[in-house]
Amino acid sequence: MKMQNNFLCALALFISASFGMLHAQNTNVETEFGVKGGFNMSNLYNNGDDVDDNNILYGFNAGVYATLPISDFVAIQPELLFTTKGAKLEYNSALFNGDAKFKLNYIELPLLVRVNITKNFNVHAGGYASYLVSSKVTGSGDADFEQTIDTDDLNKFDAGISAGIGVDFNPVSIGVRYNYGLTTVGKERTALGTTYTFPDAKNSNLTLYLSYKLN
C-alpha cells in the first residue's frame, strides 16, 4: 500500500531526527505486561511489485505483550498474537458482481526493539514470525460461497519486518504498525516439468492497536 510506504519513510526520518533528543527527555522505560488488540488492513503483493491500496481486507488482531527494558530508554518487546491477513478481490462484469475474500489466520510472534523518544511516545521496529492456523475463501454478491483451504496446500510459516509508533496514556496505549511480509504465502509446486509458486504473493498488513497494561 502506498500509504504504508509513506508511513515507513516518515518513521525512518523521525527516528533519525529524534535520537539526538533522547538524553534530554524523561524517557525511562518500565517493565510492562499487558493485553492488546486492534484493527487490521491487509493485502497481498507480488514479487517485484509495489504494494498498492487496492484489494484491502479488513480484520483484527488480539493477544498479549511484554516490555523488557535493557536501558533507560530502550526495551525488547515480544508479543503473542492471533491475527488475520489476506486480500479482497472485487469483480464487476456484465454477468457477475460481487467480491471474493482470501482469508488467512495466523498465530504471530513479533519481536521488537522499542525506543522511548519521550516518556509517552515510542517508536519500535523488528521482525515477526507467524504460523498459519486456518484459511478459507468466501464470496458474496451474485455468487455466494465459502470454501475452507487446507493449510497443507499453503506455506504454513510467514516472516517479515515490522515498524511502528505508539503513544502511552498509562495504563492504555495506542499505536500504528506496519508488517511487511518476506515469505511467499503459496508453496512451490512442480507440474509437467515446470516449477511454480501459487499463490505467488506475500503478506502486507497495517495495524491500528490498543493495549492495556496489567501490572
Residue 207 Cα distances to 8, 22, 178, angstroms: 13, 26, 6
Convert the pLDDT of each residue in 114-125 to its tens digit.
Answer: 999 988 899 999
Identify whether the C-beta of residue 104 lies closer than 8 Å to the C-beta of residue 84: yes
Task: Report CA dihedral (50, 53, 54, 60) to the nearest 10 degrees.
Answer: 110
Residue 152 Cα distances to 17, 33, 180, 181, angstroms: 46, 34, 23, 19
Least confident of 45-49, 125-129, 184-188: 45-49
Convert the pLDDT of each residue in 64-74 to its tens digit.
Answer: 999 999 998 99
Q: What are phi and psi of 51, to 5 degrees?
A: -75, 130
Give residues with Cβ within 8 angstroms of 16, minimum separation 6. Answer: none
- Residue 62: its H or E element: strand 57-69
Identify whether the C-beta of residue 63 lies closer than 8 Å to the C-beta of residue 37: yes
Rounded mean pLDDT, 90-94: 64
Answer yes or no: is pLDDT of 19 > 60: no
Identify whether the C-beta of residue 105 lies closer than 8 Å to the C-beta of residue 80: no
Per the prediction, the chain carries an average pLDDT of 84
What is the pTM assigned to this prediction? 0.82
Of 135, 139, 143, the residue nearest 101 (C-alpha)? 139
Cα distance between residue 116 and residue 113, in whole Å:
10
- Check residue 145 and give its pLDDT: 74
- The residues that bridge with 137 in the sheet, in sequence order, are 102, 147
Share of the chain above pLDDT 70, in %: 75
CA contacts within 13 A on the Cβ side of 118? 7
Q: State the SS3 of 92-116.
A: ECCCCEEEEEEEEEEEEEEEEEEEE
Would you place residue 60 in the very low, low, confident or very high pLDDT band (cuts 50, 70, 90)? very high
- Check residue 183 and give its pLDDT: 94
Answer yes or no: is pLDDT of 1 > 60: no
Q: What are phi and psi of 46, to 5 degrees?
A: -90, 155
| AA letter at 92 | N
Instruction: Say if residue 19 is exposed, middle or buried (CB neighbours under 10 Å; 0-12, 13-18, 19+).
Output: exposed
